Amino acid sequence: MLRLRLASMFVLASISACGGGGGSDANSGHADAAPDGPLGPGSNNLLVEGTFVVQNPNNLSVGSSLMVFCDLRISKAGAPVADAVVIVNPAPPAFQAVLTGDEVDLGHYRGTYFAYADTARLTVTTLAHDYINEAVLVGPKLFQIEMPQMGVGVPPTSPLHVSWGQPGGAVDWADVALESGFSMTDLPDNGSYDIPAASLVPGEDTAQVTRWSHDVIPGAAPGSYIDFGIHDSQPFSVVN
């Protein structure tokens, strides 16, 4: 399965800079997009594939100040859908964020919303009367990187033990990375991983852990999904 993976601040920052629809403009008001046709989960015609990623650069324990980056593609019968109105309504209910469609890469929608509270609702409507009606997406519970500890020096001769909390139990998978370049994806979410000493670079570095939940979208075409992740960062030093 193709996954649109966003696993670093660099990638997410570039998405936002390319017209992610984030910031105060994206969250400044409510939008009216009631689905056409009978109420229900959706018309089952729209294929949606994408990611929602919560950025937690300071390893915080609460989500009220965190930004969520949304990146998804919408197609129908193999053709991109360029006229969709895509709304994300964080839960508990808050201001709705309208995702922005790319004018060149048709069917590609991006944006952000502020404050993370475990779930969000996705609504999509099109001029052809296809729709997805408030599909509930569930992300991982907010967690913290426990090891390495912030600012602590570690030797370059031993594996770096990275560990993280698992509130609510294990999720579908985890990624572990270092800002200096090491990356390991699609790991079992067992709460820890040892990065080989050969991958450590002397100096300041940042351990990064992303935990992912895979959400199937009710009312969308078969195969639709949103991978919902939380990306935590913890600075440390590699010292002799």
Q: Are residues 100 and 178 in the same domain?
A: no
Q: Which of 110, 107, 111 is CA-nearest to residue 84? A: 107
From residue 67, give the alpha-carbon distance in Å to each of 23, 170, 186.
Answer: 9, 23, 23
Question: Is 238 a domain residue?
Answer: no
pTM of the model: 0.83
pLDDT at res. 58 = 94
| Chain centroid offset of residue 214 CA | 11
The angle subtended at Cα 168 by Cα 165 and Cα 173, nearest 5°, is: 70
Q: Are residues 52 and 119 in the same domain?
A: yes
For tokens 């852990």, name the residue. Answer: 209
Task: Look up residue 26 and give its DSSP letter.
Answer: H
Q: Is the Cβ–Cβ distance between 27 and 120 less than 8 Å?
A: no
Q: Are residues 86 and 16 in the same domain?
A: yes
> What does the block give as tokens for 18?
């390319």
CA–CA separation, 89 vs 77, rounded Å?
27
Count of domains observed in the chain = 2
Three-state secondary-structure class, residue 13: helix
Q: Are residues 155 and 72 in the same domain?
A: no
Q: Are residues 162 and 126 in the same domain?
A: no
Q: Are residues 90 and 195 in the same domain?
A: no
pLDDT at res. 25 = 37
pLDDT at res. 151 = 83
Q: Are residues 184 and 92 in the same domain?
A: no
Q: Are residues 95 and 155 in the same domain?
A: no
Question: Is 203 a domain residue?
Answer: yes
Q: Which of 22, 7, 5, 109 is CA-nearest to residue 66? A: 22
In tens digits, what is the pLDDT along the chain, a chain of 240 residues?
444 443 333 333 333 333 333 333 333 333 344 444 446 799 999 999 999 999 999 999 999 999 999 999 999 999 999 999 999 988 766 778 999 999 999 999 999 999 999 999 999 999 999 999 999 999 999 999 999 999 889 999 999 999 999 999 999 999 999 999 999 999 999 999 999 999 999 999 999 999 999 999 999 999 999 999 999 999 999 998
How are beta strands 108-114 and 67-76 bridged, if at all? antiparallel
Could you report the per-residue pLDDT of 78-115, keeping only the tens digit for each?
999 999 999 998 876 677 899 999 999 999 999 999 99
Domain region containing 25: 9-31+39-141+215-221
Q: Are residues 193 and 115 in the same domain?
A: no
Q: Which of 110, 111, 116, 129 is CA-nearest to residue 38? A: 129
Question: Is 112 a domain residue?
Answer: yes
Reported for 216-219, long-range contacts at CB under 8 A and 24+ positions apart, including other chains, are 217/42, 217/48, 217/122, 217/132, 217/135, 217/137, 218/41, 218/42, 218/132, 218/135, 218/136, 219/40, 219/41, 219/42, 219/43, 219/44, 219/131, 219/132, 219/133, 219/135
Question: Is 159 a domain residue?
Answer: yes
pLDDT at res. 39 = 62
Q: Is the Cβ–Cβ distance between 102 and 20 less than 8 Å?
A: no
